[in-house]
Amino acid sequence: MDAILDPILAAWRDRPGALLPVLHAVQDALGHVPAAAVPEIAAALNLSRAEVHGVISYYHHFRQEPPGRHVVRVCCAEACQAVGAEALAEHARTRTAESGVKVEPMYCLGLCACGPAVQVDEAELHAAVTPAKFDALLARLEAGQ
């Protein structure tokens, strides 16, 4: 882990407001922010462990456990609700119950004119997602493509 942490901390330790950028960099590299990283981050940024932990747990974005192989985030905010997001989210949860794909609700991707919207692994976007489109997406993810 030090191999990952050291350069991140070296790049940020002297910059103002560095904690969020550091946590992002750690999570981007490891998929989550492991508890073992907290003391080193705290020491480098001159913060208490409790402060670092408080920030990690405050923000929905930061994970303390590794996610599944893939994370599929289904938008459940109002504009997507208006075009069936809740039914889609329910469908997605049922279909992935036994799968390495993790489904998480999220609140708006800025794709509100073409919902329901879905984001895969914080990158790939899908709009106007129907249950059938979701199944096709899932099949692709499970096939490792």
Q: Where are the beta strands (DSSP E) in the chain?
A: 70-75, 101-106, 118-120, 124-126
Length of the chain: 145
Q: How far is C-alpha 19 from the chain's CA centre?
A: 18
Closest CA to 72 of 109, 26, 112: 109
Nearest approach, Cβ of residue 108 and other proteins (Å): 5
- Out of 30, 62, 69, 131, the residue judged to bind other proteins by CB under 8 A: 62
Nearest approach, Cβ of residue 115 and ligand FES (Å): 5
Residue ranges in 25-44 that form contacts with other proteins under rule CB under 8 A: none
Residue ranges in 82-121 that form contacts with ligand FES under rule CB under 6 A: 108-112, 115, 117
Q: How far apart are CA 69 and CA 31, in angstroms?
A: 10
Pick the closer one to ligand FES by CB: 52 or 129. Answer: 129
128 lines the binding site for ligand FES (CB under 6 A): no
